[in-house]
Amino acid sequence: MSVISKPEDIEKLRHSGRILASCCYHMEELLKPGTSAKDLNTFCTEFIRSYHAEPSFLNYAGFPHALCFSNNDEVVHGLCTPEKILKPGDVLSVDLGVNYEGLFSDTAATYIITEDGIDRSCKFHFIESWKETKPTVLDEAPPLELKRKRELLDATSKSLMKGIAVVRHGAKTGDIGHAVGSFLASRGYGNVTQLGGHGLGYEVHCEPFISHTGRKGTGSFLVENMVIAIEPMVTLGKSGQVRFVKNNQYGWEEIKSKDGTIAAHFEHSMLVTKKSCEVFTRIQEKDVLPVQAEVSELLQK
């Protein structure tokens, strides 16, 4: 369990989230056809290190990269292998963490890759003023396949917000699971219940386990200054079942939907407060950290 006891550690936690949100915000500009998983991994690694922090997933439990790159039927824990190159129509989930002076943040988001970037229909965002600075443009009559992808992302991101809405001191983990799970059930999607959210703060992952299904009033209590991550993983297919696929070269298991349907994944980290929570992986536009010159030069090589 990660309960943050020192005020200075709460500030470090917020800065960890600021680095992470800033990195993801800038990374969105690289999400376009032709960009490789290796390119994204390099950018994230160098951006995070340019702010005197470390990618928290790198070498954690044997994971060889900074970024989890999960494409289409890959649900989570996707590798950044050289052959993974984005193309129009891909549904890409990225999951990233930051360790800043021993305080950990974690976030994830899913994108639809278009001909020249990313589809802006999903309302999930790392920056509070995102809708003003990057307006959404929707087709009047999108093709059925695109419409289904948009609806999947919309349902998954909204289920995360449903979970966040019930977080407060004295609530229980089952309250989160019920909020997320009942919403997804009403939409008819597959809720990946084999996996879930977690505690963090002083560690990458720790108790409590945050299931995305459950009953109100059950599970572990949430307490003030506890740090948790909620991260619904959802498949287009209704079963929500997954399979573990071993990559022998890297000695790692990627997790894919069992029925081969596309998946979406959204995540925020938050600090529990008396009456609600502080989502510290979502920041104001004025607080976005710039891309340092050495990182920009690296991308241009």
Annotation: binding site for substrate = 77, 205
Label residue 194 left, alpha or beta by phi (over 0 means left) and psi (-120 to 50 means alpha).
Answer: alpha
Helix axes 173-187, 144-165, angle to 10 degrees: 160
Annotation: binding site for a divalent metal cation = 95, 106, 198, 231, 267
For the record, the structure tokens of 123 come out as 């309302």
Nearest to 285 by CA among 31, 22, 23, 52: 22
Annotation: binding site = 77, 95, 106, 198, 205, 231, 267
Q: Give residue 205's identity as a one-letter amino acid code.
A: H
**Spatial distance between the Cα atoms of 286 and 129, rounded to a whole number of angstroms:** 9
**Strand residues in 74-168 grouped as ranges (E):** 74-76, 91-100, 103-112
**Spatial distance between the Cα atoms of 219 and 165, rounded to a whole number of angstroms:** 17
**Spatial distance between the Cα atoms of 267 and 265, rounded to a whole number of angstroms:** 7
